[in-house]
Amino acid sequence: MYKVFVNDKPLFLTNEIAKETDFQLFLLESIDIEQLIIKMFQNKIQKASLYYPDEKAILKKLKEKIPVCKAGGGLVFNKNGDVLFIFRNGKWDLPKGGIERGEDIEDTAMREVEEETGVDKLAITRKLQKTYHIFKRNGKYKLKVTHWFEMQTKFDGIPFPQANEGIEKAVWLNPEQIKEALKNSYENIKLLFEEERLLK
């Protein structure tokens, strides 16, 4: 099962039909995906499931219905075990951004961390999961697939937020501060911390 966030509301891609559920269930094959997304953005639908029988093909099927953009992001630890966060649009987030032509996704993730926070001397330690969310740009809905990487850095200066990207803060947060920040973050960032069991 995949979880796609639409305006921070969950849209589950599933190959099972649950009997007892408060979700609205739609058939992925026949759904007008744009109408569903609009209703979720308008808060008319709080959570929904899209059903398709073949679990392996379910994501491919969704991608046929909506344009996809690929992004890379970093969950960056310093030598003290603190994590690099950015603050933008009134919420805490992790540095990430779109892939450029001819770029490897790992390079995208490291470049975006450096551009958004000024933090360099990065090394990828492992690949984390992907997160999915739908956003609107230039009047069109798109599915953003973000590839996350855990990174370590030897950087020992002060992070510097990329103001022209609307980033107000770039800071190191310790585990206690992270718990607090996640209360005012995006669902896919919370999911990343939960599924990777990053909060003790």
CA dist., res. 171 & res. 155, Å (int): 13
Q: Tell me: the pLDDT tens digits for 65-113?
A: 999 999 999 999 999 999 999 999 999 999 999 999 999 999 999 999 9
What's the mean pLDDT in 168-185? 95
Evaluate if residue 197 carries a pLDDT over 90.
no
Task: Tell me if 75 sits within 8 A of 151, measured CB to CB.
Answer: yes
Residues 6+ apart with CB under 8 A from 178: 83, 85, 193, 199
Residue 182 corresponds to which tokens in the numbers above?
């996640």
Average pLDDT value over all residues in the chain: 93
Neighbouring C-beta atoms of residue 25, cutoff 10 Å: 13
Q: Tell me: the pLDDT tens digits for 52-65?
A: 999 889 999 999 99
What is the full DSSP assignment across 151-197? EEE---S-----GGGTEEEEEEE-HHHHHHHHTTB-HHHHHHHHHTT
- For the chain, domains (ranges, CATH) are 2-65 (no CATH), 68-195 (3.90.79.10)
